[in-house]
Amino acid sequence: MASFTEIWQQVVATSMLEWLAVVLAIAYLVLAAHQSLWCWLAAGISCVIYTQLMFNAQLYMESLLQLIYITLAIYGWWQWRYGKGQDDAAEVRDYSWQWHLQWLLLLTVVAVAIAWLLQTYTDADAVWLDTFTTVFSLFATWLLTRKQFANWWYWLVIDAIYVYLYSSKGFVVTGALYFVYLILVVYAMRQWQSTQVGSEQCDNSG
């Protein structure tokens, strides 16, 4: 485990680009917690920066993830502006647990296949964690574009893994970001739940 001095040196050595990506990533989650359309702009810019950072660190699946995130950010913006995402999260019907179980099984198979290919044919590092977090991050982000409350449960697990993954690769600031994410995810869950409670109260009074 790195000493405080080593961690501090890594923090000081963190590039301005990574700092910018961190700030934008935090802004994205805070804005998403409040269901603000602008969360997708912050996400898109942050992902452009992280695409290059992850590629340089040989986290190829993470780099690919950032590229796809850019597409999802555009899709999310469109959904929240013109599609089903226009509705408040409290008004969106959640998918059933059977639906989630089916997708969990399918995505696990996909992740195992991709991880095996990367381990066999590339020099990618942390293959299994990298691949599983990539696959399920895409899924969780898609759920967010649809304003599905369950997306936050997925992010609780994913972000905990990211804290370890990024810290072990030397991205101390980004690892700390995902620890902050864990806290913000809980905050977002409370925000969305309070919206739901408020909606139910309005329905009852009506």
Q: What percent of the chain has pLDDT over 70?
A: 88
Pick 155 or 94 by higher pLDDT: 155
Q: Is the pLDDT of residue 196 over 90?
A: no
pLDDT tens-digit map of 108-141: 999 999 999 989 988 878 889 989 998 999 999 9
The first and second tokens of residue 124, run together, are: 């990618």
pLDDT tens-digit map of 71-106: 999 999 999 988 866 667 667 778 999 999 999 999
pLDDT tens-digit map of 26-58: 999 999 999 999 999 999 999 999 999 888 888
pLDDT tens-digit map of 65-74: 799 999 999 9
Question: In whole angstroms, how far apart are CA 64 and each of 11, 29, 105, 141?
Answer: 25, 21, 22, 14
Q: What percent of the chain has pLDDT over 90?
A: 53
pTM of the model: 0.82
**Residue 4: band (very low, low, confident or very high) from pLDDT cuts 50, 70, 90:** low
Burial environment of residue 201 by CB neighbours within 10 A (0 to 12, 13 to 18, 19 or more):
exposed
The first and second tokens of residue 34, run together, are: 């409040």
The span from the CA of 102 to the CA of 75, in Å, is 24
